[in-house]
Structure 1
Amino acid sequence: MQKITPCLWFNGRVNEALELYKKVFSDFKVKQISHYGEAGPMEPGSIMTAVFEIFGQEFMILNGGPNYHFTEAVSFTIHCKDQHEVDHYWDGLTANGGQESQCGWLKDAFGLSWQIVPDALVELMTRKDPEKGQKVMQAMMQMKKIDIATLEQAYNS
């Protein structure tokens, strides 16, 4: 068991979230599910918590009701080796009500923020030529989903 597990407060739709993450992440696995009983506060038999794992990282979902909502102040970054991975995670997490944002950020259908970051972005921005790195930054600032070819063109311009 890992020392720290992020707990994500959901307002219902826990089953939908688990299904989405199962579709998007190839190594997704549910490790534990607990259900509400008669003592409530949610409907008896509904999921209270679910612990799942993605790429070796544990997360917990708490079906806690409408009291709290996700904000961009907390996001999860997915490091991608190529454009195919960027497209896969972007398309999967924006499906069915997700929202595109700027600079590789998005919200999934449940309002949870993700950053889809290709390794090439970091590599191009941290090379020894700061002027070219600034061109890459300017190109990225114009994007929603990060396009590696456009970043490379900016670097080489």
Structure 2
Amino acid sequence: MVNFDPLFFGASDDPAAAAREKLDEVWNKLVEGGSVLMPIDQYPFSQRYGWVMDRFSVSWQLILTNPEGEPRPSILPSLMFVGDQCGNAEEAIRFYCSVFPDSRIGGIHHYPETPGPDKEGTVMFADFQLSDSWFAAMDSAQAHQFGFNEAVSLLINCEDQAEMDYFTQQMSAVPEAEQCGWIKDKFGVSWQISPIALEEMLIRGSRGQIDRVSQALFPMKRIDLAALEEVFNSAKAGD
């Protein structure tokens, strides 16, 4: 989800027009070699909105934001609950907010009674904050040829083993999907639960240390930080 907020264009003579112009510019670049999922147009929820899949098969929702609303980041991940998961968006949002510290729901808008396949009371659009990151979520009962899979995962950078264990215990719902810190929750969303120290090892380590740490990491289901640190420290820094 990409927000084009006129407040970001306050220096121009017409911020709303500048935001709209920038939205159209980005749309034209993304649609080149891609495909339109919802035409760029005026909708009940926005004066300017479009949904496009780019040439790399990544989907983007571009929306002209109401400047009177609470500010949001320019780009935020958007989770669409389809197929067997349709109708679970609100439950997922409340679950994630119960797990992550300093979390809150921004707003939840439900589908009204409609002749279409979307069920009244399910989530038309919602956004929520987990720690310092914002996300969007929605249900869709339309016919979609996709669902959650490991092609997209959300990374949780953890300070220590205790924090990794906490998130794994709270969120992992498919034991056979656990690998190298990757987990899958009960809604099918994939997460990577990784220690910040691992990134530091891979950045400042020698070639030998990096190879040793990688070899130790690959067989792990849940990451054992102490084991990785032991391997890192035992390898020669000059290798």
Measure the CA separation in 2 of the matches of 1:31 and 1:19.
Answer: 11
Structure 1: 5+ residue stretches without partners:
none
Aligned match of 2:80 in 4, 9, 19? Answer: 9
Aligned-pair CA distance for 1:114:
0.7
Q: Which residue of 1 aligns with 2:94?
A: 19
Identify unmatched segments of 5+ residues in structure 2: 1-71, 235-239
Report the alpha carbon displacement of residue 3 of structure 1 after superposing the two structures with TM: 0.9
5 and 127 in structure 1: CA distance in 2 versus 1, 3 angstrom threshold: closer
Identical residues among aligned pairs (%) = 40
- Offset of 1:37 from its aligned partner? 0.8
Structure 2 CA distance, aligned partners of 1:20 and 1:38?
Answer: 26
Please list, as runs of the form range in 1=range in 2, the aligned pairs for 1:1-157 lying within 5 A after superposition: 1-10=72-81, 11-39=86-114, 40-65=116-141, 67=144, 68-94=146-172, 97-99=173-175, 100-157=177-234
Alpha-carbon distance, 1:101 to partner = 2.2
**Deviations 1:59-101, CA, capped at 9 Å, x for gaps:** 111111362301211111111111111111111111xx34442
Please identify, of 147-156 and 135-144, the stretch whose mean Cα deviation from structure 2 is larger.
Answer: 147-156
What TM-score comes out, normalization by structure 1 length? 0.90
| Count of paired positions | 155
**Does 1 or 2 have the higher relative contact order (CA < 8 Å, sep 6+)?**
1
Query: Over the residues paired in the alignment, what is the CA RMSD in angstroms?
Result: 1.6
